[in-house]
Chain A
Amino acid sequence: MNLTIMRLALQALVGQRRGLVILALPVLLVALAGVLRALTGEPVSANAVVVEVGIALVVPLVALLAANGVLGPEIDDGSVVYLLSTPVSRYAVAASKFVVAAGVAAAAAVTGLMGATLAGGLSGRWVVVSVVVGAGGAVLYTALFSAIAAATRHGMIAGLVYVTVVESLLGRFLGGFRYVSVRAFAERLGEVAADVDLPVADLSTSYAVVASLVLLGVGVGGAGWRLARFQLRGDE
C-alpha cells in the first residue's frame, strides 16, 4: 500500500469528469425513488427500484467507472510510467489503486442504495441490504473490472458486456451463470445479512463467500501482474 499512489488515484477519480458521472448515478437512483413515491403516494417497490435499477445497474456501473478510472487511461497512454519508474512494488501500486477505486465505488453505491431506500420509504431491513450489497457488490465488481482492465485494452467495453450480456441477459435464462455472477454473490451476502428475500438464484452462501474471496485475489493480483510486466511501446 502506498499513500502517494492512493492520493494520486483519488485525484484522478474525483478531479476529472469521470468523478461527476460516478456521483450522478447514485443521485439519479435516489431521485427516481423519490419521484416514484411522490407520484404514487406509497412506498416504492423495493424489487423494482433498489434491486433492478440500483443493484443491477448503479452498483456495477460506478465500479466500472472507478476501476477503469484509476487503471485504464494511465496504462493506455503510457503515463503510468511516471509512477512505475520508482522503487515501489508494482503489486503495491495495483493494490493502492484498487483500494481507492473500491472505496469510491462502495461509497457511491451505498449512498445511492441507502438514499433510494429512505426516499422510497422502505423498511429498515433494506438499509442493511443497501450497506451490505452496495459495499460488497461495489468492491467485488471493482476487483472484477480491475482484472478485466488489466487483461485487455478495452476494459470499459468488456465490463459493459459482462454487466449487460452475462449478468442481465444470459443470467436470466441460463441458471448456470449464477456461478460467475458478481451480482448473485453480493445478493446472497445481502440476504444472509438482512434477512430479506432477494430474487437471487439458488447459490450456497459458502460458495458466494469463497467465490468473492477468489475474485478479490484475482482482481488485485491480476492488476499487479499486469503492472509488473508493463511495457512501454515506442511510438515508432
Chain B
Amino acid sequence: MTDLTLTGVSRWYGNVVAVNDVTMSIRPGVTGLLGPNGAGKSTLIAMMAGFLAPSAGDIRLGEAPVWRNVGAYRDLGLVPEREVSFSYLTGRAFVQASAELHRLADPRAATARALAEVDLVDAADRPISTFSKGMRQRAKLASALVHEPTVLLLDEPFNGVDPRQRMHLMELLTRMGEQGRTVLFSSHILEEVEQIARQIEVVVSGRHAASGDFGAIRRLMTDRPSHYVVRSSDDRGLASMLMGLTGVRSVALGRVGTGEAITVEVTDMGEFTLSLPRLARSAGITVRELAPSDESLESVFTYLVQS
C-alpha cells in the first residue's frame, strides 16, 4: 500500500490536454514533482489523490484504484494548494475534525501528536483566520498527517512560506521519507526539489519529461546547448575565431536588443568559458558583454521536452 502507480494517465478538458500519457511509479521516500507553472502538476496530484478522474489510464495505490474509492484515504494524505476556508475553526478544531472523520481511536491524542509534529502547538487554539501563510500550511499538513498515512501528497507546499518555516517543512518531509512513507510534493523551483527529493519526476506541458535522481536531472539540465550573447570591439573577428572551437555549434551575427552582437550556441560550456577570454586577448579584441540568453528554468524545461 505504499506505491502509487500511474499507467498511461491522460487528462483533458475539452480540446485542452492537461496531462498526456504519463506512466510513473512513486515509491517510499521523498519524490519531487518538478515542472513550470501550468505543466499539469496540480492536475496530476488531483488525480493521484482521487479528486479527478483520469480521462484515460489508471492510477492505483497498491492494488486499489484511487478514483471513487474513499477507502484509499485511510492510507493517503493530501495537502492541497487550496487555502483552508474553515477560518472560523481553531487550528486544533480543524485538525481534530480530520482525526474524527478518520475514525481514529483517540482523536484528541492524534491531534496533539500531529500538531507537535508540525510545530504548531503554541498557536493551535487560535482561529485559523489569524494564521500566517506558513501556519496555515502547517495546519493543513497536520490535518493530512493525523491518521499517519503511508502516502502523503503535497501540492506546492513551499509556496509563500517564509525561509525559516520552509526549512522546517523540508526537515519534516525528509523525516517522513526516512520513516518509509511515500512523500510526493510538487514545485516549480529546481533548488527546492534538489534539497530534499531523492527522486525527481519532471513534467512539462503535461508530459513526463524526465525521471531520475537529482544528479541525473541536474546533468540533463546543464549539459544542454546554451546560448550566449557577446558584444565586443570586433564582433566579426571574434565570431570567426569562436567558430573554430569544437564546443561551439553555431555563431550568428546580428541585431540583439539595442545593438549588434554575436549569438553563440555552445555545447561545451567549459571549453567556451575558458577559450573566449584567451581568444579575445590574443586578437586584441575587447569583450564588452557576455550574457546567457536563455538561462531561465522555462528554457531548461523546454529543452527537456524537445530532447
**Which residues of A are at the interface with B, using a C-beta cutoff of 8 A?**
2-5, 7-8, 11-12, 15-16, 73-74, 77-79, 81-90, 228-236
Contact = CB atoms under 8 A, between A and B. Distances in A.
B88 A11 contact: yes
Interface in B38-60: 38-43, 46, 49-53
B73 interface: yes
Interface of B: 18, 37-43, 46, 49-53, 68, 70-71, 73-74, 76-78, 80-86, 88-89, 94, 97-98, 100-103, 140, 143-144
19 contacts: A11-B89, A12-B86, A81-B51, A82-B86, A82-B98, A85-B51, A86-B70, A87-B70, A231-B51, A232-B46, A232-B51, A232-B82, A234-B18, A234-B41, A236-B37, A236-B38, A236-B39, A236-B40, A236-B43
Nearest to A15: B88
B78 A85 contact: yes
A182 B80 CA distance: 39
Contacts of B68: 228-229
Nearest to A90: B70
A231 B67 CA distance: 10
Given A7-B97, A74-B85, 10 more contacts: A82-B98, A86-B73, A86-B98, A87-B101, A228-B68, A232-B49, A232-B52, A234-B18, A234-B42, A235-B42
A230 B68 CA distance: 9
Which 10 A-B pairs have CB atoms at the shortest separation, nearest pair first?
A: A234-B42, A232-B51, A86-B101, A79-B85, A4-B100, A232-B46, A236-B38, A15-B88, A78-B82, A85-B78
Nearest to A234: B42
A87 B73 contact: yes
Given A87-B70, A231-B52, A81 B85 contact: no
A233 B81 CA distance: 11
Nearest to A85: B78
B85 A73 contact: yes
Contacts of B81: 235
Contacts of A8: 86, 89, 97
A157 to B, nearest CB: 21
Given A8-B97, A236-B42, A86 B85 contact: no
A2 B71 CA distance: 16
Contacts of B42: 234-236
A77 B70 CA distance: 21
B85 A85 contact: no
Contacts of A84: 51, 70
B98 A81 contact: no
A2 B103 CA distance: 10
A215 to B, nearest CB: 26
A166 B21 CA distance: 47
B35 to A, nearest CB: 10
Nearest to B13: A233
A9 B22 CA distance: 38
Contacts of B73: 85-87
Nearest to B69: A87
Contacts of A87: 70-71, 73-74, 101-103
Contacts of B77: 85
Contacts of A79: 82-86
A4 B97 contact: yes
Contacts of A234: 18, 40-43, 46
Given A4-B97, A79-B82, A236-B37, A85 B46 contact: no
Contacts of A15: 88
B82 A4 contact: no
A219 to B, nearest CB: 21
B257 to A, nearest CB: 31
Contacts of B43: 234, 236
A133 to B, nearest CB: 33
Contacts of B86: 8, 12, 79, 82
Contact of B78 (A74, A81, A236): A81
B246 to A, nearest CB: 42
Nearest to B88: A15
A16 to B, nearest CB: 7
Contacts of B140: 82
A79 B85 CA distance: 6
A156 B97 CA distance: 28
A195 B97 CA distance: 47
Contacts of A12: 86, 88
B266 to A, nearest CB: 33
B18 A2 contact: no
